[in-house]
Amino acid sequence: MRLLPFDYAVRNLGRSPSRLFLSVAGAAMVVLLILVAGGFVRGMSQALRATGGEHNVILMGAGSEESVERSEIPAATPGVLAASVQGIRTRAGVAYVSPEVHVMLPVTVGTGGMAKPRQVMLRGVSPAAALVHESVSLTEGRWPVAGGGADEVIVGRMAGTVLGVAESDVQVGRAITIDGRPWTIVGRFSAPGTVVEAEVWLPLADAMTATKRDTISCVVVTLDPYNEATGEGAEFADVAAFTKTRPDLELVPMTEREYYGKLASFFGPIKVVAWVTAGLIAVGGLFGGLNTMYAAFASRIRELGTLQAIGYRRLAIVWSMIQESTLATAAGGLIACAVGVFLLDGVAVRFSMGAFGLKIDEAVIGLGLLTGLALGVVGALPPAIRCLKPTIPVALKAV
Amino acid sequence: MQTVKIKLMASMRAMTLAAVLLGGAAGVGVLTPQTAHAQVKSVADVKTMLKPELPAGALEITAAMKSAKVGETITVRGNVAMSKDAFVENRAMFTLVDESTRKGCCPPSEKLPDTACDIPAEGRATIQIVGANGKPLRAGLNGEHGLKPGAEVFVTGKVESANGADALVLTAVSMHVPKAPLPSGLFVEKQPENAKDVSEVRKSGALKVGDEIVLRGRVGGSKEPFVAGRAVLTLIGRGLKACNENPDDKCAKPWDYCCETKEDILANSVTVQVVDAKGQIVRTDLKGRRGLKELSEVVVVAKVASADGKGVVVNATAVHPVQ
* Domain ranges for chain A: 6-49+267-397, 63-249
The count of CB pairs under 8 A between chains A and B is 74
> In Å, how far is A240's CA from the nearest CA of chain B?
6
- Chain A residues within an 8 Å CB radius of B316: none
The string of pLDDT tens digits covering residues B53-83 is 889 888 888 889 888 889 999 999 998 988 8
Cβ contact, residue pair B221, A247, below 8 Å? yes
CA distance B163 to B130: 21
Find how far residue B137's CA is from the centre of its chain. Answer: 25
> Which helix (H) or strand (E) covers residue B36, if one does?
none
User: Pick from B136, B134, B135, B125: which is nearest to B159 by CA?
Assistant: B125
Query: Which residues in A15-44 are b (16+ Cβ under 10 Å) and which e?
Result: eeeebbebbbebbbbbbbbbbbbbbbbbbb
Q: Average pLDDT, stretch B35-53?
A: 75
Q: For the full predicted model, state whether its pTM sits above 0.80.
A: no
- What pLDDT band is residue B35 in, cutting at 50, 70 and 90? very low
Name A366's Cβ contacts closer than 8 Å, sequence gap at least 6. B22, B26
Q: Going by C-beta distance under 8 Å and a sequence separation of 6 or more, which residues neighbour residue A360?
A: A35, A38, A39, A340, A341, A344, A345
Report the percentage of chain A scoring pLDDT > 70: 98
The highest-confidence range among B46-50, B69-73, B230-234, by mean pLDDT, is B230-234
pLDDT over 70, % of chain B = 84
- Region of poorest pLDDT, from A84-93, A208-217, B217-226, B245-254: B245-254
What is the model's pLDDT at position B34?
Answer: 38
CB-based contact, B7 to chain A, within 8 Å: no
Element (H, E) at A17: helix A17-51
**B43-176 shares its CATH topology with B196-321:** yes
The CATH number of B196-321 is: 2.40.50.140
pLDDT average, residue stretch B195-214: 90
Mean pLDDT of A135-142: 93
Confidence band, pLDDT 50/70/90 cuts, at residue A148: low
Give the one of A245, A323, A366 whose C-beta lies nearest to B16's C-beta: A323
Answer yes or no: do B229 and A237 touch at CB < 8 A.
Answer: yes
Tell the burial category of A80 from Cβ atoms under 10 Å away from its Cβ (0-12, 13-18, 19+): middle
B221 touching A, CB under 8 A? yes
Is residue B213's pLDDT more than 70?
yes
Examine the pLDDT at B5 and tell me if it is beyond 80.
no
Output the pLDDT for position A221. 96
Contact B13 A6 (CB under 8 A): yes
Mean pLDDT across A177-199: 90
Give the pLDDT confidence of A26-37 residue by residue, as tens digits. Answer: 899 989 989 999
Distance from CA of A236 to the nearest CA of B (A): 9
ipTM attached to this prediction: 0.71
List the domain boundaries for chain B: 43-176, 196-321
Cβ within 8 Å, pair B311-A246: yes
The shortest C-alpha distance from A191 to chain B (Å) reads: 32
A256 to chain B, any CB pair closer than 8 A? The answer is no
Residues 6+ apart with CB under 8 A from A41: A271, A274, A275
For the segment A140-160, the average pLDDT, to the nearest whole number, is 87
Q: What is the pLDDT of residue B37?
A: 45
Alpha-carbon gap, residue A92 to B174, rounded angstroms = 44
- Answer yes or no: is pLDDT of A381 > 80: yes
Is 90 exceeded by the pLDDT of residue B215?
yes
Cβ distance A370 to B26 less than 8 Å, yes or no, reads yes
Average pLDDT score, chain A: 89
**pLDDT band, very low/low/confident/very high, at B11 (cuts 50, 70, 90):** low
Write down the pLDDT at residue B13.
Answer: 62
| DSSP-derived secondary structure letter, A55 | T
For residue A170, pLDDT beyond 70 = yes
Of the candidates B103, B144, B137, the one whose C-alpha atom is nearest the C-alpha of residue B120 is: B103
Q: Mean of the pLDDT values across residues A182-192?
A: 93
Residues belonging to chain B: 323
Give pLDDT, residue B16: 54
Classify domain B43-176 by CATH architecture: Beta Barrel (2.40)
User: What single-letter amino acid sits at B321?
Assistant: P
Q: Can you tell me the mean pLDDT for A282-310?
A: 84
Contact B232 A373 (CB under 8 A): no
Q: Is A327 on the interface with B (CB under 8 A)?
A: yes
- The answer to whether A71 contacts chain B (CB < 8 Å) is no
